[in-house]
Amino acid sequence: MTTAEPRWNAPIFIVGSPRSGTTLLRNLLNRHPAIAVCRETDYYHYVYRRRRAFGDLGNLKNRQRLVKEYLSTQRIRRMKIDLQALENVLMDEASSYPALFASLLRFYAKAHGKSRCGEKTPLHAYFTETLCEWYPGGRIIHLLRDPRDVVVSLGQLPSAPNSLIGRAKLWLRRNLAALRSQHRPQYLQVRYEELVTDPEKCLGGICRFLEEEYSPIMLVPDWDPTADRPWYRRAEESVTTQRIGVWRKELTEEQIALIEWLIGPHMKTFGYEAVGRKPSSGAIARAFALGAFDTVRRKVGEFPGVWYSLTCSRELVKEESARERYRTRNLTRSVPQ
């Protein structure tokens, strides 16, 4: 396929647990001559789950209200595209929630001179079955990474749980959710460890799945102006294996034992072997107590962002701002032991 043959009916979606390499894979695919993959839209959280609040988009007033609010969020503004032109397109095309999402991604791809569109939102692991139904020609790429490495890496993410239990459960929930689509031909599971160990071979397989020709330019680092977060900028660098197995140095034996005890059976399902011993009853009790305390602390800290979410408020900008303030306060947080 060339840029003269657009496939707007075949969007690409990258999902998985946070800190599993989804940003890295997004960057690699985004460098492909035919593919444009935008960063997190959080379309499910900010738009689709509030469809009852915003109403039928066939109604122009409902559509205008949603488009104005959604395009005012920082996650859309960070795309660095012509927002007025995008608003005009959405007002003309977005007569339904599937059409709105497709039009947004299509506009982004066209703005970058690409013929294939896609996006990367790890949270959309919960949304894959709907995406497959909306876009039968689309593709779901589920990126997996060793949960022990994910637990370590989540310590660098301000929005992540601060407890070991919370991080391990986050990995488990996201991956089990994405796995629900494994029976579909649109689904492909990719392992982070294979991606960074032999990126050319792995990307070649992904391109075959996407029905695109592999391009060596995908492995050439290229600065993206939308990389406005530290973890985004790190993912712009050359592919490296340095982050494989960091858990062996960063986690204690007790922490390893707790993670493997909690999600061990599922680790084997996803191809990762447990190596530790069973944790003591005292260690389990302490971990769950800390996990419960952290959950309460986070809910209190994220308020009123959580309130806007629970009530499916149409005030998207206010919710995003509240959540952003909470994350900013946690940027310098240290990794707990």
| Range with top average pLDDT, 173-177, 232-236, 286-290, 330-334 | 173-177
Residue 304, preceding bond cis, omega within 30 degrees? Answer: yes
Domain locations in the chain as residue ranges = 12-329
> Which segment of 125-134, 154-163, 227-236 scores lowest on mean pLDDT?
227-236
- Please state the three-class secondary structure of 240-251 as a single string: CCCCCCCHHHHC
300 pLDDT above the threshold of 90:
no
> What pLDDT shows up at residue 187?
98
* Per-residue model confidence as pLDDT tens digits over 127-139: 999 999 999 999 9
- What's this model's pTM, rounded to 2 decimal places? 0.92
Query: Using only C-alpha atoms, what is the Rg of the chain?
Result: 20
Question: For 221, how many CA atoms within 13 A lie in the half-sphere containing its CB?
Answer: 11
* Per-residue model confidence as pLDDT tens digits over 52-98: 999 999 999 999 999 999 999 999 999 999 999 999 999 999 999 99
336 pLDDT above the threshold of 70:
no
> What pLDDT shows up at residue 2?
41
Q: Which two tokens stand for residue 11?
A: 């969007």
Cβ-based neighbour number of residue 220 at 10 Å = 10
Answer whether 53's CB lies under 8 Å from 314's CB: yes
> Which segment of 52-61, 68-77, 234-243, 248-257 scores lowest on mean pLDDT?
234-243
Cβ-based neighbour number of residue 82 at 10 Å = 12
Sheet holding 12-16, edge to edge: 35-38, 116-120, 12-16, 139-144, 187-191
334 pLDDT above the threshold of 50:
no
- Taking residues 201-214, what's their average pLDDT? 98
- Taking residues 192-203, what's their average pLDDT? 98
Q: Which pLDDT band, with edges at 50, 70 and 90, does 323 fall under?
A: confident
State the Cα–Cα distance between residues 176 and 64, nearest whole angstrom. 36
> Which segment of 4-8, 84-88, 181-185 scores lowest on mean pLDDT?
4-8
Q: Which two tokens stand for residue 35?
A: 């593919």
Average per-residue pLDDT for the chain: 91
User: What's the CATH code, domain 12-329?
Assistant: 3.40.50.300
143 pLDDT above the threshold of 80:
yes
> What pLDDT shows up at residue 282?
93
- Taking residues 213-235, what's their average pLDDT? 81
